[in-house]
Amino acid sequence: MTRYLFFFNYYFFLFNDFYSFGGQDKHLRLIDYLRNPEFMGEFKRFCMRAFCAETVTFFVDMQQRDQIARMDTEARTVECKRIYETYIREGSLLELNLTDPVRSAIQAAHKKCPDDIGVFDQALKDMYWLMKTNLFPAWKQDAGFLKLRLKVTRNVLAL
């Protein structure tokens, strides 16, 4: 029974593009794709080709924020510093494309409380919005996405 429910949910997830339940549905579909390891890998490759690897990499790193929040103060400070130095600091290797007010607010909050993972929440919201509105629609037209979707659909239908 569990196997049946898993495949039913997966099948429904694959074909829900054909039905529109309003704006909320579009938001949920992006999250569902990002939670699927195969699709997430393909999305990362697409972002690298689109020169937006920092966006999805930051999103993946921030999915660990609950675990980071439970770390002891010293470990949490080290992890927050790594995130700041990698994505927020101007000129960093994977610098995010943030507005000046957001970057300034994060810099000030991080300086004041270097072990607070919550200071990056606005950047996470902004990067998710960028993925949802710009990268996701383009990715759904990409050959890699279409090929993977066809492969997964065939596997589900073969059951």
In a domain, 94, yes or no: yes
DSSP state of 142: S
Q: How far apart are CA 156 and CA 159, in angstroms?
A: 6
pLDDT at 2: 43
pLDDT at 102: 95
pLDDT band at 32 (very low <50, low <70, confident <90, very high): confident
In a domain, 15, yes or no: no
Tens of pLDDT, residues 7-20: 444 444 444 443 33
Q: How many CB atoms lie within 10 A of CB 158?
A: 6
In a domain, 18, yes or no: no
In a domain, 102, yes or no: yes
In a domain, 28, yes or no: no
In a domain, 47, yes or no: yes
In a domain, 90, yes or no: yes
Q: Which of the two residues, 23 and 130, has the higher pLDDT score?
A: 130
Its domain, for residue 93, covers: 40-158
In a domain, 29, yes or no: no
Instruction: Provide the CATH number for the domain around residue 130.
Output: 1.10.167.10
Give the total number of structural domains in the chain. Answer: 1
Tens of pLDDT, residues 59-71: 999 999 899 999 9
pLDDT band at 21 (very low <50, low <70, confident <90, very high): very low
